C-alpha cells in the first residue's frame, strides 16, 4: 500500500489465463473523453475482454511540475470511464516502476497465460524510439496504435514504425491481434477526439475574463 492512497488503487484488476486484455498506460493528467474513446474503441475493435488503464506515477519524458496526485488521477479515471470492462490501476507505484518495459515484463511474468495488448496513441508511436528498451516492449506483447488528429503521417513514418514495418498487420485483422505472438502491431483509424491533457491544463490555468 502506498502512503496516503486507498489500498485498492494499486491492486491488479481481475485476470485469468486466456483473457484478452488491453493495457493503456499514461499519466492521465487529466483523463479526458479522448482517452475513454480509445479504450472503448480498442475493446470493440480488438475483441478484448477488458482494458486496463495504467495510471503512471510519472512519465520520465514529461515535466512533472503540473502532475496531479496519483490517487486523484486514478479516481478521476474511474469516474470518467464507468465501464465494467474498463479497469483503472496504479500498480506501477506499488512496485516503483518508472519505465513501461519494467511494468510490462512484470505483468507478463505475474499473469501467466493472459493475452496482453499494449495500446498507445499515434503521437506516442512518433517518439516510441525514445522509450526505454522500446524494442523489448515490441517483443513482449502485440501493440495497437490508435490514430490521433494530425499524427498519422508522422507516426507511420517514424523510426519505430519503420523498424517494425514487417510486423504490422492489416487493420482488417485487428480482432486477431491479441492472439498473435509478438512482435505484431496494428494501426487503428477511426473516431478521434481533439482533446488533449496539455490543452485542458492550459485552459484550467488561464485567468477568467
85 — phi, psi (to 5°)?
-105, 0
The candidate with the shortest Cα–Cα distance to 84, out of 51, 45, 36, 117, is 51
- Tens digits of residue pLDDT in 124-139: 999 999 999 999 999 9
Contact partners, residue 161, CB within 8 Å, separation at least 6? 125, 128, 155, 168
| DSSP letter, residue 60 | T
- Domains of the chain (ranges plus CATH)? 7-193 (3.40.50.620)
| DSSP letter, residue 88 | E
pTM metric for this prediction: 0.88
- Tens digits of residue pLDDT in 14-42: 999 999 999 999 999 999 999 999 999 99
Least confident of 2-6, 62-66, 162-166, 204-208: 2-6
Residue 61: its pLDDT value, please?
56
**55-93 burial by CB neighbour count: b if 16+ within 10 A, else e?**
bbbebeeeeeeebeebbebbebbbebbeeeebbbbbbbb
Compute the distance between CA of residue 131 and CA of residue 169 in angstroms, rounded to an integer.
22
What percent of the chain shows pLDDT beyond 70? 85
Pairing mode, strands 50-55 and 143-146: unpaired
Peptide bond into 183 cis (omega under 30): yes
Instruction: With a cut of 80, say whether residue 200 has pLDDT above it.
Output: no
- Tens digits of residue pLDDT in 40-98: 999 999 999 999 999 998 766 565 567 999 999 999 999 999 899 999 999 999 999 98
Instruction: With a cut of 80, say whether residue 208 has pLDDT above it.
Output: no
Residue 27: its pLDDT value, please?
93
What percent of the chain shows pLDDT beyond 90? 78
Instruction: With a cut of 50, say whether residue 206 has pLDDT above it.
Output: no
Radius of gyration over alpha carbons of the chain, in Å?
Answer: 16
Amino acid at each position: 500500500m502506498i502512503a496516503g492512497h486507498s489500498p485498492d488503487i494499486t491492486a491488479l484488476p481481475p485476470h485469468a489465463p486466456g483473457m484478452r486484455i488491453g493495457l493503456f498506460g499514461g499519466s492521465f493528467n487529466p483523463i479526458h473523453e479522448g482517452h475513454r474513446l480509445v479504450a472503448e474503441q480498442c475493446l470493440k475493435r480488438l475483441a478484448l475482454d477488458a482494458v486496463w488503464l495504467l495510471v503512471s506515477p510519472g512519465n520520465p519524458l514529461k515535466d512533472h511540475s503540473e502532475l496531479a496526485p496519483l490517487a486523484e488521477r486514478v479516481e478521476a479515471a474511474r469516474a470518467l470511464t464507468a465501464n465494467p470492462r474498463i479497469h483503472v490501476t496504479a500498480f506501477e507505484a506499488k512496485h516503483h516502476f518508472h519505465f513501461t518495459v519494467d511494468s510490462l515484463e512484470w505483468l507478463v511474468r505475474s499473469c501467466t497465460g493472459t493475452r496482453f495488448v499494449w495500446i498507445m496513441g499515434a503521437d506516442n508511436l512518433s517518439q516510441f524510439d525514445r522509450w526505454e528498451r522500446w524494442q523489448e516492449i515490441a517483443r513482449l506483447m502485440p501493440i495497437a496504435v490508435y490514430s490521433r488528429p494530425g499524427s498519422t503521417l508522422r507516426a507511420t513514418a517514424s523510426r519505430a514504425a519503420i523498424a517494425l514495418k514487417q510486423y504490422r498487420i492489416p487493420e482488417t485483422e485487428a480482432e486477431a491481434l491479441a492472439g498473435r505472438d509478438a512482435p505484431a502491431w496494428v494501426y487503428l483509424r477511426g473516431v478521434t477526439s481533439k482533446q488533449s491533457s496539455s490543452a485542458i491544463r492550459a485552459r484550467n490555468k488561464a485567468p477568467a475574463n
